[in-house]
């Protein structure tokens, strides 16, 4: 049959526009059929050959919950790479696997949950408080870094085909959402309009406007009194009117129920459903939209309201190629064999290596020799598979634990002794009177016989994560303190007292206040939840086959006493941009086995008119003897702002590789938008005055100077002319 045959319904005619096809298809649906498409597990409509479709899928660091898939480092670890290009490559690999799995499952009649092409990722909430259990899913505390990595991830997921989406990305949780988990269904996150536009919204804006994300997920909480999944301010005024969003909005799961139950903003399910739909939430992850027919009878919504959302959802499915022959859609040809293929396994290793952050290396104890006679590997995370994964993960075909990686790396003559030492979090006497220190004797015996000790400690997804998903958290998924839990610090001290060289590897998804370790342990490596290849990556760094260059995407505070209460969403006193207390480890911090020297920082001009950009260049040379990466960071400070502004802000990042004695010139462009401030009314203003530029491998703060022994370069420029209000 010809594609242009007049007997072909318009919605099946691939020569017609998607808009025409969507209009035709929706016109053929009954009201009941329309409503059946507004829930995440949308029904099949056999009369029109519409298969069932489950919209719920996850992929923050690999295709999740659908069997074997490549598991990359948890999002917070990938953020530590400070590598936009590598993040894009990871997202391309994830979307390859997502496409391959979707089509193979569909061919076998499996269209269930976690099998679709609409991924509810990335999580680009700002990790404003280290207690938040879901901070591990984010790209850290900085809006600029989060935005750059988020855009890269969105583009990698959605592809670059002129007609079809590879998958649909869904930045979440929009907006002003970062705990507490135990209060999320009832909490009202109160944020000033300045904090909104300065901190909480920029990454979402960039993922929508630059990344072209076609979906966005609303949050559970209220923001300034409005439920996020029914907020006229967030969903209409900002998202659609200001940013021009044309895709669809999905609720977080159960969030529309929350509108009438814990939030008590609506008085019934029908009223909550109507409120969400009319304010721009198109898809319900939950059951409440099943009441829309009653809401229609009660005059709370119109059929036109329902049509608007149904059309948005079908537009996404058409753009994914779900109603076109496979021969028309190039992504259908991705073979199933791409899942966890060798190329993706290597990419997981590459990202895990780049995520490693060397926090301390006193006396250059690292790298260790592979030819030591005996190495003791001690700690509750040494042989743990769970700490490789973090939450929202797939299932690796192979788990490489830290202990596995070390055993593979050392020479055949090196003996590796393993002892767990203690449980991750036990502190008290347990079953049959077993004490929490019961493993100390074995650990001490191992350490006494070793030439060096590698301690593998930290936390795990059993201690931090999403509400209801965490087995051992006493904070409902959040953390109530930042210390090493259980008897870990006591074990660390006991091993340290033996007098052997100690390397501490911490595996975690959020900051730890390891103050004693920083004072006493000579070498500390931050490994995050490093993915399926994590053990190999850790071993590569410890034994010198990879020179670490990761940087912290989140501040490690010394104590919870140094930051505001968890429920306070005011940014003052939080993150490196506003925090006045000295941190344990600053944002942007990380060490290397080699030394990089910065020189010749220059601007193309030192005075510009308001509205012009400015070019910054700096020379970076590897003056050490080991090849490695350097993360070049540019921070900007508005010296003469008329309102309170951040202390300084990251405005440029480039990760470069340099051989010994190699020098490169790194170039940045500072745009008018990057120079602009947000005033108390939320206006984006570029004011005349002095600005200071800092460039180096770290922040320009005193703590970074102390930890690295280096200072960053700086220079100033002046903006002249009148104050400009520019596009946010």
Residues that are catalytic: 252, 464
Which H/E stretch holds residue 708?
helix 702-708
- Angle, alpha carbons 122-124-125 (nearest 5°): 135
End-to-end CA distance of the chain: 51
Cis preceding linkage at 336, omega within 30: no
Surface-to-core class of residue 109, CB atoms within 10 Å of its CB (0-12 exposed, 13-18 middle, 19+ buried): exposed
Decide if 454 contacts 542 (C-beta within 8 A).
Answer: yes
Tokens of 188: 């009202």
Q: Distance from CA of residue 102 to its chain's centroid?
A: 24
Cβ atoms of 472 and 462 within 8 Å: the answer is yes
Using alpha carbons, select from 121, 540, 632 the residue that is nearest to residue 355: 540
The dihedral of CA 56, 59, 62, 65: what is its sign? negative
Cis peptide before 175 (omega within 30 of 0): yes
Nearest-angstrom CA–CA distance, 613 and 610: 9
Helix (H) or strand (E) holding 603: strand 596-603
Name the DSSP letter for residue 357.
Answer: E
Q: Provide the pairing of β-strand 523-526 with 357-361.
A: antiparallel
**Exposed/middle/buried for residue 702 (C-beta within 10 Å: 0-12, 13-18, 19+):** exposed
d(CA 454, CA 471): 27
Taking residue 580's Cβ as centre, other Cβ atoms within 10 Å add up to: 8
Closest alpha carbon to 635 in 78, 81, 127, 144: 144
Q: In the numeric block, which tokens belong to residue 544?
A: 């010198």
How far apart CA 205 and CA 195 sit, in angstroms, is: 14
Handedness of CA 261, 265, 268, 270 (dihedral sign): negative
CA 392 from chain centre, in angstroms, equals 12
Query: Which pair of tokens denotes residue 623?
Result: 């003056």
Q: Nearest Cα to 585, choosing from 552, 548, 562, 559?
A: 552
Rounded (10°) angle between helices 488-496 and 440-448: 30
DSSP string covering 8-41: S-GGG-TTS-HHHHHHHHHHT--HHHHHHTSBSE
Query: Which residues, 6 or more positions from 330, have their beta carbon under 8 angstroms from its beta carbon?
Result: 161, 164
Q: The tokens of 229 are what?
A: 């999944």
Do residues 649 and 144 make contact, with C-beta atoms less than 8 angstroms apart?
A: yes
539 contacts 77 by C-beta, under 8 angstroms:
no
Q: How is residue 544 annotated by DSSP?
A: T
Quick one: which of 79, 184, 185 has its CA closest to 123? 79
């Amino acid at each position: 049959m010809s594609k242009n045959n007049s007997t072909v319904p318009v919605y099946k005619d691939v020569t017609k526009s998607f808009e025409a096809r969507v209009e035709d298809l929706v016109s053929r649906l009954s009201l009941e059929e329309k409503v059946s498409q507004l829930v995440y597990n949308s029904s099949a409509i056999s009369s029109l050959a519409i298969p069932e479709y489950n919209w719920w899928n996850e992929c923050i660091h690999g295709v999740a919950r659908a069997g074997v898939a490549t598991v990359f480092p948890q999002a917070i670890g990938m953020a530590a790479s400070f590598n936009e290009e590598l993040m894009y490559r990871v997202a391309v690999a994830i979307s390859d696997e997502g496409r391959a799995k979707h089509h193979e499952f569909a061919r076998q009649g499996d269209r269930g949950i976690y099998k679709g092409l609409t991924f509810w990722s990335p999580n680009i909430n700002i990790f404003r408080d280290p207690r938040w259990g879901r901070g591990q899913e984010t790209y850290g505390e900085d809006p600029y870094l989060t935005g750059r990595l988020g855009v890269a991830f969105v583009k990698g997921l959605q592809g670059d085909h002129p007609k079809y989406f590879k998958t649909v990305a869904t930045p979440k949780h929009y907006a002003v959402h970062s705990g507490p988990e135990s209060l999320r269904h009832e909490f009202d996150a109160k944020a000033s309009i300045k904090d909104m536009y300065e901190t909480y919204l920029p990454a979402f804006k960039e993922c929508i406007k630059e990344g072209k994300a076609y979906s966005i997920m609303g949050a559970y909480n209220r923001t300034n009194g409005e439920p996020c999944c029914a907020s006229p301010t967030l969903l209409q005024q900002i998202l659609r009117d200001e940013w021009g969003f044309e895709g669809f909005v999905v609720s977080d799961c159960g969030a529309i129920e929350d509108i009438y139950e814990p939030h008590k903003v609506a008085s019934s399910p029908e009223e909550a459903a109507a409120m969400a739909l009319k304010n721009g939430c198109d898809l319900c992850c939950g059951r409440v939209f099943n009441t829309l027919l009653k809401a229609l009878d009660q005059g709370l919504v119109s059929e036109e309201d329902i049509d608007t959302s149904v059309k948005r959802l079908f537009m996404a499915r058409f753009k994914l190629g779900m109603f076109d022959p496979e021969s028309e859609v190039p992504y259908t040809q991705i073979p199933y064999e791409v899942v966890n293929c060798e190329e993706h396994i290597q990419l997981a290793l590459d990202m895990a290596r780049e995520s490693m952050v060397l926090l301390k290396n006193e006396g250059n104890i690292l790298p260790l020799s592979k030819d030591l006679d005996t190495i003791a590997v001690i700690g509750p995370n040494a042989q743990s598979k769970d700490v490789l994964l973090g939450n929202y993960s797939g299932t690796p075909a192979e788990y490489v634990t830290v202990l596995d990686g070390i055993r593979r790396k050392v020479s055949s003559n090196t003996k590796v002794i393993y002892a767990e030492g203690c449980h991750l979090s036990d502190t008290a006497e347990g079953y049959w009177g077993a004490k929490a220190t019961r493993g100390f004797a074995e650990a001490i015996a191992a350490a006494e016989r070793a030439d060096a000790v590698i301690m593998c400690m930290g936390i795990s997804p059993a201690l931090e994560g999403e509400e209801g998903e965490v087995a051992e958290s006493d904070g409902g998924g959040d953390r109530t303190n930042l210390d090493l839990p259980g008897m870990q610090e006591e074990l660390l001290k006991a091993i340290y007292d033996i007098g052997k060289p100690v390397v501490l590897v911490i595996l975690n998804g959020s900051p730890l206040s390891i103050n004693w370790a920083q004072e006493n342990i000579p070498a500390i490596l931050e490994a995050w939840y490093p993915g399926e290849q994590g053990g190999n990556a850790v071993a590569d760094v410890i034994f010198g086959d990879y020179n670490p260059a990761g940087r912290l995407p989140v501040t490690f505070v010394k104590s919870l006493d140094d930051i505001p209460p968890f429920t306070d969403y005011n940014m003052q006193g939080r993150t490196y941009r506003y925090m006045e207390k000295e941190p344990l480890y600053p944002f942007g911090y990380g060490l290397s086995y080699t030394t990089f020297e910065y020189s010749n920082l220059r601007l193309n001009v030192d005075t510009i008119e308001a509205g012009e950009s400015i070019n910054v260049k700096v020379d970076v040379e590897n003056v050490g003897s080991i090849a490695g990466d350097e993360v070049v960071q540019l921070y900007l400070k508005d010296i003469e702002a008329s309102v309170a502004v951040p202390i300084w802000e990251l405005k440029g990042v480039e990760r470069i590789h340099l051989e010994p004695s190699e020098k490169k010139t790194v170039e940045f462009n500072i745009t008018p938008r990057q120079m602009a401030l947000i005033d108390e009314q939320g206006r984006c203003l570029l004011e005349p005055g002095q600005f200071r530029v800092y460039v180096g491998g770290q922040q320009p703060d005193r703590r970074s100077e102390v930890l690295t022994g280096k200072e960053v370069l700086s220079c100033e420029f002046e903006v002249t002319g009148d104050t400009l209000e520019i596009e946010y």
